[in-house]
C-alpha cells in the first residue's frame, strides 16, 4: 500500500488481508505519522483487531519525521532501494544505523530490506561486501531481513536464505563469546 493515496485496489487488498487474518501490512512512501494514523483508522473501521502496520522508510520526509513515525508504527522497514534514490547513497548506511537505533530505543521491530544479497540473484555466492553489510545490521540489532528479488526471481533462493541464516548464527555465537563486539 502507498501512503500517498490508498487506491480502491489497496483497500480491497486490505479487506482481503484482514479477512485472511494477516498479521502485518506494510505502508510504502510514509512521510509522517499521519500516514500511519490514517491507515490505522481505515483498519479499525474494517476490523478493530486488524493487522499491525509496518512503515517503510524510503523518503527524505520520513527521515525528518522518524521518531514520530516509529512511535505510532508497529514496526519499521528500512527500504534501502527507494531510500537510496531519495537521499545521497553515502547517507543510506548512516540512516539505516539511526533507524535501527531508534527502533531499538522504542522496542519496535526493524526490518532491513532491499539489496541485502543482491548478487545471489545470479550467483550462488554473495559478494564479500554483502556479508559484512548483513552482519553489521545484526550487530546493530536489526530484527529481520527481507529478501526480495533474491528469493522471488533469483536462481538461488534457498541458498540466499541459508546464507543469511548462517551469518545470523555466526554473529550471535560470536556475541556470546565476545560481547564487546556490540
* Per-position pLDDT tens, the chain of length 182: 666 668 899 999 999 999 999 999 999 999 999 999 999 999 998 877 889 999 999 999 999 999 999 999 999 999 999 999 999 999 999 999 999 999 999 999 999 999 999 999 999 999 999 999 999 999 999 999 999 999 999 999 999 999 999 999 999 999 999 988 87
Report domain extents, the chain: 1-96, 115-182
Residue 4 confidence (pLDDT): 60
Residue 51 confidence (pLDDT): 96
Residue 39: which residues within 8 A CB-CB, separation 6 or more? 1, 3, 6, 25, 27, 53
Residue 3 confidence (pLDDT): 60
Residue 2 confidence (pLDDT): 62
- 28 three-state secondary structure: strand
CATH code reported for the domain at 1-96: 3.20.20.60
Residue 1 confidence (pLDDT): 67
Q: How far are the Cα atoms of 10, 11, 14, 54 from residue 7, in angstroms, in the given order?
A: 5, 6, 10, 18
Question: What's the CA angle centered on 134, arms 147 and 126, to 5 degrees?
Answer: 70
Residue 182 confidence (pLDDT): 78
Contact (Cβ atoms closer than 8 angstroms) between residue 115 and residue 81 = yes
Residue 103: which residues within 8 A CB-CB, separation 6 or more? 70, 75, 76, 109, 110, 143
142 DSSP assignment: -
This prediction's pTM: 0.93
Amino acid at each position: 500500500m502507498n501512503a500517498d493515496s490508498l487506491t480502491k485496489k489497496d483497500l480491497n487488498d486490505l479487506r482481503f488481508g484482514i479477512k485472511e487474518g494477516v498479521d502485518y501490512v506494510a505502508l510504502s512512501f510514509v512521510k509522517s505519522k499521519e500516514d500511519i494514523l490514517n491507515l490505522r483508522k481505515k483498519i479499525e473501521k474494517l476490523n478493530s483487531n486488524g493487522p499491525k502496520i509496518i512503515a517503510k522508510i524510503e523518503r527524505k520526509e520520513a527521515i525528518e519525521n522518524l521518531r514520530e513515525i516509529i512511535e505510532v508504527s508497529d514496526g519499521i522497514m528500512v527500504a534501502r532501494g527507494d531510500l537510496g534514490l531519495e537521499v545521497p547513497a553515502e547517507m543510506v548506511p548512516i540512516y539505516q544505523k539511526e533507524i535501527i537505533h531508534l527502533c531499538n530505543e522504542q522496542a519496535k521491530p526493524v526490518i532491513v530490506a532491499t539489496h541485502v544479497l543482491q548478487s545471489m540473484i545470479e550467483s550462488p555466492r554473495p559478494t564479500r561486501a554483502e556479508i559484512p553489510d548483513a552482519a553489521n545490521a545484526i550487530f546493530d540489532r536489526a530484527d529481520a531481513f527481507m529478501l526480495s528479488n533474491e528469493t522471488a526471481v533469483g536462481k538461488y533462493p534457498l541458498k540466499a536464505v541459508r546464507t543469511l541464516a548462517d551469518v545470523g548464527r555466526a554473529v550471535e555465537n560470536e556475541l556470546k563469546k565476545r560481547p564487546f563486539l556490540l
